Amino acid sequence: MMRLSCISALRRFCILIVFITLLQKSEACAQQYKKELRYLKFYLGIVPTKDDGKLPVRTNNNIRYIHSAKDLNCDFDKPCSWDNVPSDEHLDTSDFYMFEKEDKKVFPVQIQPGHEPPQGTHMLMAGNTTQTSESAVLVSSPIACQITKGKLSFKYWLYNAAKIEVVVLKINPAHNRFQVLYRPKSDCTFFKAPGSDCVVEIEEMHEPFKIGIRAHQLHDASVGSFAMITGIRYDAQICRENEIPSLFGGFPLSSGEPSIKEIETAKDLHCKENIAACAWTPSYGTDDAVTLRSLWQSGSNLRYWDEFVPSSSGDNHPEGNFIFQYIDPMSTAPIGKLKSALIPCTGGYSSLKLKYWMTPNVQAKLCTVSQNNVSLSCVFLQEENSPGPVIVDIDRGDKNPFRFVIEVIKFDSSRASIFAIDDIDFTGRLCHEQAPKTTAAPLGIEALFELQSFPQVPVDSLPESLDCNFEVEHCTHWENSEDGFQSAFVPAKLPFSMPKDMRGNAAVAHFTEPGSYVILQSPVIACAENARITVYYFSSIGARVSICADDKCLKEHEQDDAADNTDEASFGHAGELSVNVTSTNNFQLRIVAESVSEDSDFAESFVIVKYIKSEGHVCRLKDKTELACEALFCDFRRGNLCKYTAALTSPDDTPFEHDRRAGLRATLSTTGHRRVVLRSPEFELSQPADLRFHITLSTFGATAYICPDEFVDNLVEDCELLLGPKIDQKKWEMIQVQLDPEIQHFAIVAYHDKYQQFGEADVAISDISLVNADGTPLCVKL
């Protein structure tokens, strides 16, 4: 008799689901609504919270990125970072409502698989008995990006045909419809073991997104269906609101005072490689935190490029370094401009040429703007014309100062976008430059100065000083890129005047055409305090010299013909160029000689460097091996990766986790968790060296390799087996491997595809260092 009563009660309970629909009914249905709520209270012991079950939501929930993954944790007992959204009549046609467990009644067996919620539990419910309201989506606050794989879990109950899934959504709807980036794998079904939670893994995300919990198949017209959730937990390493997703090795361009406010020659606007030193700077007109995430940056690699600029053409991308603007979908226009240095005036025809790329639905414009920021003319940069190049011609000389301005004016608010430019080239003659003259016959500088390459002498050890005297030495501790400077002897008798102290042995940069440059680069210097480095030089007409500390450069003063060239036979300028340096970090000095588009009666130009002198406190010089030691040494037990990376590049990759005792630790198991990769930073060696590290594998069948590159394709053919597959017991192994002098990257890879036979495999790496062949430390203690 008791059993028949229970069955009867459960049948009556099936009718209860209509209450969800009744929450949305008019006042005329109030009596029926109260009746259904009494049934709900009687059978489930739950009642709607105040405001008829309306969700309590945090202020600015939808317009601010969350600061921490924990911001999405929610038990619905206080305002949360989750909310219903307006229906899009597609993914979402209904809403979730909030209820509270009022007593200790046990849920009927038709409601599975969640545990019995204790009294006072708050939960959300979605369900109906109509044909139109089929699904409801609960959406999180925006997440700027997810650096590692993340995990979302929550408690849930399903009744009848109802199902539940997790979706990763674009930041904003497009055309009033939610845009699904992808659906993570899940098995959150009715048939899971009683008390089970829904646990979903979310892949690494490189653009802003939202997480949606979607209840669907709620359209059973006879007895209805419903889903209930509570106890949401989110665990991941995310970008904070003021952080920018790491794209293309991006480094934000400085928006401070530009190094060049006004160009001296058209080539000053060229921008192809050394982006940080280009005469182009960003300008942002707002302090809004989200808009300031849409920064102009310099890029150096093309990883994830195809996610932003899809193309069927394999060469549709920049080469080398380039400039790009990452566009946050929550930004509001204007989002910042890229401005050139001021062009004082042009004395004839001039033109700007560049290439550009953009994410679909992005539009930009390139304008000439007066010194007072009045727009003079513009061209629009469209997706269909990318990559160009686009050429902006200025047909006649403009006697007024102006600059070029590049600005994104339209973008897709449903997803992250980019706008990239490369190969910026400005040609023309400025007002103060004379028209080209007929080129005179070459003077034969190469024969006159007896130019020859400096001898290739190995540098066994670096000197204690930066000082260099080319009169008596070759100064091999200064790196002579591509033999740009040559060994020379400046004779006493010349067909032109030359200061006496420039005669004799010297280093000479020789040019036969404008627009060329060569570099003399110092070793890496550990630090400096009130240091002064001086170059003694001579530059001919059509050439000039600069001295740079990292990306900050000081050029020689423009030559004054009236002051310097009192001798009619003189055609150059001798002088001293000094730079003051104070730095607590590693830095390098560069001496740059270049030929410029100056009016000259000479077909050749050159720069002579005679001496380099340092004063003040200059710290010791570091060779390549010591820099490699600094780059490669890491004790992972200190809680960071140092300069190593463990990015996921394959569907089988799993991330490392930090362990205070073991260092880096990972568990290898099934598909999606078979491989873990630790990639080294770039380095160079100037002497033989061994790599030493401590590693442990726990399970028979697991293997560990070292690969001579940061990218891993074929372990068996391209890499060296270090450990496994015969693992008798879990223990720490010290591995010492000789590094090839030519190697500049390596990767340590652990792999396990024998999970079905031998179970999970734990791998851990505690530390890495460089040592001599006998195991003694290669460098001073770091």
Q: Is the pLDDT reported for residue 670 higher than 60?
A: yes
Query: In sequence order, what are the beta bridge partners of 509?
Result: 485, 607
Query: In sequence order, what are the beta bridge partners of 202?
Result: 150
Note the pLDDT tens digit of each residue in 28-52.
445 656 766 777 788 788 899 887 7
Residue 145, burial from CB neighbour count under 10 angstroms (0-12, 13-18, 19+): buried
Angle formed at CA 276 by CA 271 and CA 280, multiple of 5 degrees: 55
For the chain, give every domain's residue range.
Answer: 13-235, 251-430, 445-559+569-621, 624-771
Q: What is the pLDDT of residue 292?
A: 64
Give percent of the chain above pLDDT 90: 41
| CATH architecture, domain 445-559+569-621 | Sandwich (2.60)
CATH of 624-771, one of 3.40.190.80, 2.60.120.200, 3.30.465.10, 2.60.40.10: 2.60.120.200
Residue 218, burial from CB neighbour count under 10 angstroms (0-12, 13-18, 19+): buried
* Amino acid type, 91: L
Please give the structure tokens belonging to residue 522. 């110092």
Collapsing DSSP states into helix, strand and coil, what is residue 447? helix
Angstrom distances, CA of residue 413 to CA of 60, 170, 243 = 18, 9, 19
Q: Is the pLDDT reported for residue 23 higher than 50?
A: no
Note the pLDDT tens digit of each residue in 195-250.
999 999 999 988 889 999 999 988 766 677 889 999 999 999 998 765 666 788 88
Angstrom distances, CA of residue 631 to CA of 468, 487, 539 = 28, 34, 39
Please give the structure tokens belonging to residue 168. 């990763």
H-state helical runs in 433-589: 445-448, 561-564
Order of strands, edge to edge, in the sheet holding 210-216?
A: 82-84, 136-140, 210-216, 163-169, 180-182
Identical fold for domains 445-559+569-621 and 624-771, yes or no, is yes
User: What is the average per-residue pLDDT within 113-124?
Assistant: 92
CATH of 251-430, one of 1.10.3720.10, 2.60.120.260, 2.40.10.120, 2.40.50.100: 2.60.120.260
Residue 609 contacts residue 520 (beta carbons within 8 Å): yes
User: What is the average per-residue pLDDT within 145-169?
Assistant: 93
Q: Is the pLDDT reported for residue 611 higher than 90?
A: yes
How are beta strands 528-540 and 82-84 bridged, if at all? unpaired
Q: Is the dihedral of CA 709, 713, 718, 721 positive or negative?
A: positive
Please give the structure tokens belonging to residue 271. 């921008």
| Rounded distance between C-alpha atoms, residue 285 and residue 281, angstroms | 13
Q: Is the pLDDT reported for residue 124 higher than 50?
A: yes
Between 81-95, 400-414, 535-549, 581-595, the lowest mean confidence (pLDDT) is in: 81-95
Q: Is the pLDDT reported for residue 597 higher than 70?
A: no
Helix/strand/coil percentages in the chain, nearest 5: 10, 40, 50
First to last CA, the chain: 81
Return the axis-axis angle of helices 30-44 and 2-14, rounded to nearest 10°: 140
Q: What is the pLDDT of residue 558?
A: 63
- The answer for residues whose C-beta is within 8 angstroms of residue 473's C-beta and 6 or more apart is none
Q: What is the pLDDT of residue 218?
A: 84
- The closest of 290, 297, 283, 271 to 336, measured between CA atoms, is 283
Q: What is the pLDDT of residue 289?
A: 57
Run of H or E residues at 4 = helix 2-14
Note the pLDDT tens digit of each residue in 433-464.
776 554 455 668 888 898 888 887 777 778 88
Output the average pLDDT for the chain: 84
Query: What confidence tier does 259 reach under pLDDT thresholds 50, 70, 90?
Result: low
For 778, phi then psi, to 5°, come to -75, -35
- The closest of 106, 95, 99, 223 to 160, measured between CA atoms, is 223
Q: Count CA atoms within 13 Å of residue 129 on its CB side.
A: 14
Q: What is the pLDDT of residue 453?
A: 87
User: What is the average per-residue pLDDT within 346-366?
Assistant: 89
User: What is the average per-residue pLDDT within 686-701?
Assistant: 92
Q: Does domain 13-235 have CATH number 2.60.120.200?
A: yes
Residue 603, burial from CB neighbour count under 10 angstroms (0-12, 13-18, 19+): middle
Please state, as a whole number, how many other Cβ atoms lie within 10 Å of the Cβ of residue 348.
Answer: 15
| Rounded distance between C-alpha atoms, residue 604 and residue 661, angstroms | 65
Q: What is the pLDDT of residue 563?
A: 37
Residue 761 contacts residue 698 (beta carbons within 8 Å): yes
Q: What is the pLDDT of residue 132?
A: 63
- The closest of 761, 749, 623, 601 to 675, measured between CA atoms, is 749
Q: What is the pLDDT of residue 332?
A: 81
Collapsing DSSP states into helix, strand and coil, what is residue 649? coil
pTM, two decimal places: 0.48
| Rounded distance between C-alpha atoms, residue 111 and residue 40, angstroms | 13
Q: Is the pLDDT reported for residue 7 higher than 60?
A: no
